[in-house]
Amino acid sequence: MNGCKSRLRSPWRRRRTALPDTLPAPGPEERQEVEELMLLPAGDRLVLHLFYYEGLSAAEIASLTGLTQGSVRSRLCRAREKLRTLMTEKEEP
């Protein structure tokens, strides 16, 4: 129980902020991609954002989120697949 309390008091927990609802997208094709990205669950958006928009490696994302590198890579793979599915569904008439 004390471990949980310590984790709640940690500075990392206070520093975290949510991703903004609107991300800058200059072109219409990128705007559509961002809208589809926002349809993904928060955990998937987080790893995709950190990897592609912030340019962090899987090891850096793992240290920031408290996950293992394997978990980060698995989440990236699953999130890419979900995003790919969303994008192909939108393209089909």
pLDDT, one tens digit per residue, over 51-72 is 988 888 999 999 988 899 999 9
pLDDT tens figures, 30-48: 677 777 788 888 888 889 8
CA–CA distance, 51 with 65 (Å, rounded to integer): 12
Chain center to CA of 68:
15
**Which residue has tokens 């471990």?**
3
User: What is the C-alpha radius of gyration for the chain, rounded to an integer number of angstroms?
Assistant: 16
